[in-house]
């Protein structure tokens, strides 16, 4: 509500208008006037008063009809209306209040009564305006909150999808940048790591399903965090087999070193697990294969079930090296061995005919880290 408050005085008797105007201006209010109902409607839309002092008995449009039209106009803000009648006609007062009037006075009105009713209605107007302002602010906040919640939900969903194969910090980095175009099909030089358990198939055939699930749970719980620690991309997580690659989708300066360090950390973790499994009568080993080369990478799948994977000879080579590895062995391709010479102690194994590959490959094994 403005200060000073603006009051519209409507009466077809100019003397009554002058009296009301004089008394209200003396109280510091701004006064505008109208002499009939039609002019009153026009003045309301022009000036948007904070209060209307409205005579009921007027030519053209009476005060009751004016009240009805104003209260029905949703484009107007809340404006309290004090109805003024020349006599204490109950029918007129009731009709005016039912039309939407907020209070009434009878003429001739006393100065004190006029001032008291005006003060009362303006307090109501002020409270209403405060509540309306707060309602709009709250609505605006709610809209903003809904937008933020929606964006956050979408972000969490994207992070959830990315975390299926990326370390949490990498997933959050991609989402924060808002660019998932890196998952489009592309070609890149990567380092692929395969690992699985030795003797797991035989174990699964004879052990109870609950024990098989327990072993897998211990295995995944132990090795999974290591993949995240070394910021590898986990793309295959089937039973005891894991496929991890480096240098994609986030390029890194030392993919071979990371892969070999991860392989050694996995071997140590698996050896600790194997001791516990052996106590329970399970002879289970662990092997790793690591290779480097170009692959085509991107998303595959369908709506609601999308994976990120790599396709190429380097993937087959890493998988075959893993198959050829004995318990505790980390077999690496010749290119990987040359790249990690300063990081790890590597020994040649010689040429091995790997299943699915036409020519024997020169293979090395990682003894340990330097």
pLDDT digits (tens, 9 = 90+) for 274-306: 999 999 999 999 999 999 999 998 878 777 666
- Other CB atoms closer than 10 Å to residue 173's CB: what's the count? 13
Q: What is the DSSP letter of 325?
A: -
pLDDT at residue number 247: 93
Whether pTM > 0.75 for this model: the answer is no
* Confidence grade of residue 167 (pLDDT, cut at 50, 70, 90): low
The C-alpha atoms of residue 246 and residue 229 are separated, in whole angstroms, by 12
Helix (H, G, I), strand (E, B) or coil at 282: coil
Looking from the CA of 108 toward its CB, the CA atoms found within 13 Å total 5
pLDDT at residue number 331: 97
The C-alpha atoms of residue 243 and residue 254 are separated, in whole angstroms, by 18
Higher per-residue confidence, 142 vs 182: 142
Q: What is the DSSP letter of 165?
A: T
pLDDT at residue number 356: 77
Helix ranges, the chain (H): 14-25, 37-47, 63-72, 90-99, 111-162, 168-177, 200-206, 209-229, 255-279, 313-324, 334-339
When the pLDDT of each residue in the chain is averaged and rounded to a whole number, the result is 88
- Other CB atoms closer than 10 Å to residue 203's CB: what's the count? 19
pLDDT at residue number 214: 95
Higher per-residue confidence, 180 vs 255: 255
């Amino acid at each position: 509500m403005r200060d000073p408050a603006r009051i519209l005085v409507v009466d077809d008797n100019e003397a009554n208008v002058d009296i009301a105007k004089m008394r209200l201006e003396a109280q510091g209010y701004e006064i505008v006037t109208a002499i009939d109902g039609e002019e009153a409607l026009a003045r309301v839309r022009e000036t948007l008063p904070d209060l209307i002092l409205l005579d009921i008995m007027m030519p053209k449009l009476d005060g009751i009809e004016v009240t009805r039209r104003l209260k029905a106009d949703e484009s107007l803000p809340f404006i309290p209306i004090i109805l003024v009648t020349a006599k204490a006609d109950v029918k007129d007062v009731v009709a005016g209040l039912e039309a939407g009037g907020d209070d009434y006075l009878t003429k001739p009105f006393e100065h004190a009564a006029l001032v008291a009713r005006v003060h009362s209605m303006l307090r109501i107007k002020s409270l209403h305006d405060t509540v309306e302002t707060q309602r709009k602010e709250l609505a605006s906040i709610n809209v903003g909150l809904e937008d933020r919640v929606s964006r956050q939900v979408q972000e969490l969903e994207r992070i959830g999808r990315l975390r299926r194969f990326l370390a949490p910090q990498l997933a959050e980095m991609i989402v924060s940048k808002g660019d998932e175009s890196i998952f489009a099909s592309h070609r890149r030089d990567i380092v692929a790591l395969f690992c699985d358990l030795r003797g797991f198939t035989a174990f699964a055939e004879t052990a109870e399903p609950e024990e098989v699930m327990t072993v897998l749970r211990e295995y995944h719980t132990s090795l999974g965090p290591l993949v995240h620690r070394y910021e590898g991309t986990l793309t295959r997580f089937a039973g005891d087999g894991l496929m991890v690659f480096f240098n994609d989708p986030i390029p890194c300066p030392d993919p071979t070193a990371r892969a070999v360090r991860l392989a050694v950390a996995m071997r140590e973790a698996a050896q600790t697990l194997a001791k516990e499994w052996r106590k329970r009568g399970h002879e289970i080993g662990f092997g790793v294969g690591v290779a480097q080369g170009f692959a085509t990478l991107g998303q595959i799948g369908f709506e609601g079930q999308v994976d990120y994977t790599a396709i190429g000879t380097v993937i087959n080579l890493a998988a075959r090296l893993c198959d050829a590895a004995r318990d505790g062995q980390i077999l690496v391709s010749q290119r990987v061995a040359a790249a990690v010479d300063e990081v790890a102690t590597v020994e040649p194994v010689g040429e091995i005919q790997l299943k699915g590959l036409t020519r024997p490959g020169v293979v090395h094994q990682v003894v340990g880290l330097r």
